[in-house]
Every structure is written in structure tokens, then in C-alpha cells.
């Protein structure tokens, strides 16, 4: 963990005057609020670092505590602007992603056919990266069927979804917002259209903003055209 923090944060000789660390809410000129909770022989509580690209500053010990509480995949995400350093991976359980096409059009996309994605995930046992390692998790509602227009933008979204799937970012193990069930496979902040012919639920077509919205959600997970 220390090597990851030092890889992406440049140690500052002097803390920025009146700024707060938004992780512990203490002044950067004061020691980290995580001094007691996160001991580290190589990073002192008062050491401040700046992320190399976005230039936001934090106590380095706070970043270490934040990184250590995640799934420790070698990437860091700026808590201020959400910029991602390294390759973010998730905690999606094992499964299979299948893709096919057919000629029927989606409402709002009369000029093209349809891409169908089918996600398969089965129940299993939680790993060390999950909320309750060693406990079972359920996988309700699988296989899950999702739809994209088979046009240039839809195909680009598909390729980015393939990257997100490989990086284990599309699903996670958590608590279902619809049923309240815990220790179950749930969607993970990348919205999919699961209905073709109606948008009464918000999960179907027509929806003229959907492709742009899902591209933004993918980018927020570090999945952009640069990955293709």
C-alpha cells in the first residue's frame, strides 16, 4: 500500500497554508486524523502529498488509510475530483458475458438493429475482497438481458462494457436497493437497459441521453476510449 501511495503522490516540502484534508477534515498543516488508526513506519502523520495529475493535496497517511480500506488493486481515486490513477478493478464475482445481435430496432433507434448482452453469474462464496469473506452470496435474476442500439455509438459502449467486465466493474456483492437483501450480486454504478419496448421503469427505450450517460459512468470507473 505505501508503494502505491508514493507512486501517485508527490511529497510536499511544506503543507499548503489553510487547506483542509478532505479525508480526515483536519488542516493539512496539522497531523493526519488517521495517525492512531493507521500506523506506518515510512509515512509520518504530518507528511502531505499532492496527486501528480489533478494536483489535489492530502495527508499521505490519510490516502494510505483510504487505499487500505478498499480492495487494494494498485489504483488510487482522488476523493476530491474522482480522477483515477492506475487501473481500477472491482469485486465482481466470476461469470460470463455473451453478446449477440438481431435486426429488430429499439424505440428511438429506428435506423439500426439491436445488440443483446447476456450476463451470467451464479451464487458462490465471498472472497477476501467482498464484504463478508467466507459467507455465501446469492445471484438473483440471472441471466440478465441488456440492450444497446447496433450503431456506431452503441458498439463503442459495448466495447467499453467488455473492458469493464474484464476489470470486474459491472457487478459487485452488496445489498440490493430494490429488495434490501444483503450478500447478493448487485449492479455497480454502470446503468444498463434491461427492457426493449418501454421506458416506464426507466430501464428501457426510448432514452435519448442513455448512451452519453453510460459513457460518463464508464469514464467515472476509469474506462474510456483510451482503453480500447
Interval 18-64: pLDDT, tens: 899 999 999 999 999 988 877 778 899 999 999 999 999 999 999 99
Rounded to two decimals, the pTM is 0.81
- Structural domain span for residue 32: 1-85
Tell me if 64 is assigned to some domain.
yes
Q: Which of 34, 71, 32, 70 has the alpha carbon at shortest distance from 48?
A: 32
Q: Residue 200: its pLDDT value, please?
A: 87
pLDDT in tens, 161-170: 999 999 999 9
Look at residues 199, 202, 192, 93 and name the one whose alpha carbon lies nearest to residue 137. 93
- Is 218 part of a structural domain of the chain? no
Q: Is residue 112 domain-shared with residue 168, that is, in the same domain?
A: yes
pLDDT tens for 141-195 read 999 999 999 999 999 999 999 999 999 999 999 999 989 999 999 999 999 999 9
Question: 58 and 18, same structural domain?
Answer: yes
Is 219 part of any domain?
no
- What pairing do the DSSP bridges indicate for beta strands 136-137 and 95-102? unpaired
- Count each helix (H run) and each strand (E run) in the chain, helices first: 4, 12
The confidence score (pLDDT) of residue 201 equals: 86
Q: Is the pLDDT of residue 125 over 80?
A: yes
- State how far the alpha carbon of 128 is from the alpha carbons of 78, 91, 215, 220, in Å: 24, 10, 30, 24
Average predicted confidence (pLDDT) for the chain: 93
* pLDDT tier at 134, thresholds 50, 70, 90: very high
The CATH number assigned to the domain holding 163 equals 3.30.390.130
Amino acid at each position: 500500500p505505501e508503494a502505491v501511495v508514493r507512486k501517485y503522490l508527490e511529497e510536499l516540502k511544506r503543507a499548503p497554508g489553510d487547506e483542509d484534508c478532505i479525508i480526515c477534515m483536519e488542516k493539512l498543516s496539522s497531523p493526519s486524523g488517521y495517525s492512531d488508526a493507521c500506523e506506518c513506519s515510512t509515512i509520518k502523520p504530518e507528511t502531505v502529498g499532492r496527486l501528480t495529475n489533478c494536483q489535489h493535496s492530502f495527508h499521505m497517511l490519510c490516502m494510505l488509510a483510504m487505499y487500505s480500506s478498499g480492495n487494494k488493486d494498485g489504483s488510487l481515486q482522488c476523493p476530491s475530483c474522482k480522477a483515477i490513477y492506475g487501473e481500477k478493478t472491482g469485486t465482481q464475482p466470476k461469470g460470463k458475458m455473451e453478446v449477440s445481435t438481431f435486426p429488430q430496432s429499439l424505440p428511438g433507434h429506428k435506423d439500426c438493429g439491436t445488440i443483446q448482452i447476456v450476463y451470467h453469474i451464479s451464487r458462490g462464496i465471498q472472497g477476501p475482497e467482498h464484504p463478508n469473506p467466507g459467507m455465501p452470496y446469492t445471484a438473483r435474476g440471472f441471466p440478465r438481458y441488456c440492450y444497446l442500439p447496433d450503431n456506431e455509438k452503441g458498439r463503442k459502449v459495448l466495447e467499453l462494457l467488455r473492458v469493464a467486465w474484464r476489470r470486474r466493474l459491472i457487478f459487485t456483492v452488496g445489498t440490493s436497493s430494490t429488495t434490501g437483501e444483503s450478500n447478493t450480486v448487485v449492479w455497480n454504478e454502470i446503468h444498463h437497459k434491461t427492457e426493449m419496448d418501454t421506458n416506464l421503469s426507466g430501464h428501457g427505450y426510448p432514452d435519448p441521453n442513455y448512451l452519453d450517460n453510460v459513457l460518463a459512468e464508464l469514464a467515472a470507473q476509469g474506462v474510456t476510449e483510451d482503453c480500447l
